[in-house]
């Protein structure tokens, strides 16, 4: 299934269906695979502040998992608001959603943001703490878990791949693997190369729960999986946002 160094897995035999990350055990017919994307996890782990934000997920998955048949993509996110320091981010997000919707088998599911006042400890006191606004995206992890399990119960995939580094998803991933007896993988969407890449974060829980685990994607894989600068569909023309070039 196109795995490089750092991938792990277990062979699963289902009749003539053999699933394994080891090339010698690949089956000849691609597994029908549904992908579940944690949108903000991808954004902050792989593309924020880069020219890679115009990302075509279907192209990326065909590149990273060439032995899988992409039968569906579910993208989980939340709607952002404009802020004084980023006055047009909501418009850019809507443009990107329009681009994503040109992928025939992709669906978008939205959660919401919650803003609350709380206290944070100061690195070099005094004072020992300060009051801050904490903005949290709510709903994506629950929505991913619910869809992953319900789609598995309804037999909508032969294999599922969760694109997230969120350890809150360990339990539903393990349930799909053990209780539904379906292979489920994790692509931790951290960027492994290129300028200003973040320090690699390991997730022992996800790695243990999944049938197979891939620790990240490269700058090259992301760069080669961008939408065209200009997309035409029945609703008009979609242009890549200028700030994303």
Q: Are 192 and 218 in contact (CB under 8 A)?
A: yes
Residue 141 CA to residue 145 CA, distance in Å, equals 6
The three-class DSSP label of residue 65 is coil
Q: What is the pLDDT of residues 80-115, one digit of tens each?
A: 888 888 899 999 999 999 999 999 999 999 987 666
What predicted TM-score, i.e. pTM, was given to this entire model?
0.84
Q: What is the pLDDT of residues 199-240, one digit of tens each?
A: 888 899 999 999 999 999 999 999 999 999 999 988 899 999
All domains of the chain in start order, with CATH? 15-111+137-244 (3.40.50.1010)
Sign of CA dihedral 78, 173, 164, 218: negative
The three-class DSSP label of residue 78 is coil
Residue-wise DSSP of 127-167 = SSEEEEEEEEEESHHHHHHHHHHHHHHTT--SEEEEE---G
Q: What is the pLDDT of residues 63-78, one digit of tens each?
A: 999 999 999 999 999 9
């Amino acid at each position: 299934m196109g795995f490089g160094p750092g991938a792990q897995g277990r062979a699963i035999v289902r009749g003539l269906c053999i699933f394994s990350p080891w090339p010698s055990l690949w089956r000849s017919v691609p597994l029908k695979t549904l992908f579940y994307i944690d949108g903000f996890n991808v954004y902050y782990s792989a593309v924020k502040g880069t020219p890679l934000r115009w990302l075509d997920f279907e192209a990326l998955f065909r590149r990273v998992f060439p032995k899988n048949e992409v039968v569906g993509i579910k993208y989980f996110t939340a709607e952002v608001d404009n802020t004084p320091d980023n006055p047009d981010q909501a418009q850019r997000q809507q443009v990107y959603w329009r681009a994503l919707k040109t992928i025939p088998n992709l669906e978008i599911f939205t959660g919401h943001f919650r803003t609350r006042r709380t206290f944070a400890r100061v690195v070099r006191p005094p004072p020992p703490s300060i009051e801050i606004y904490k903005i949290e995206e709510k709903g994506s992890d629950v929505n991913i878990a619910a869809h992953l399990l319900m789609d598995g119960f309804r037999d909508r995939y032969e294999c599922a791949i969760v694109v997230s580094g969120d350890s809150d998803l360990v339990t539903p991933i393990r349930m799909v693997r053990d209780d539904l007896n379906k292979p489920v993988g994790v692509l931790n969407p951290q960027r492994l190369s290129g300028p200003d890449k973040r320090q690699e974060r390991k997730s022992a829980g996800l790695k243990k729960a999944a049938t197979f685990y891939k620790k990240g994607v490269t700058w090259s894989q992301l760069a080669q999986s961008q939408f065209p600068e200009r997309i035409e569909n029945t609703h008009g023309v979609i242009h890549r946002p200028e700030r994303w070039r």
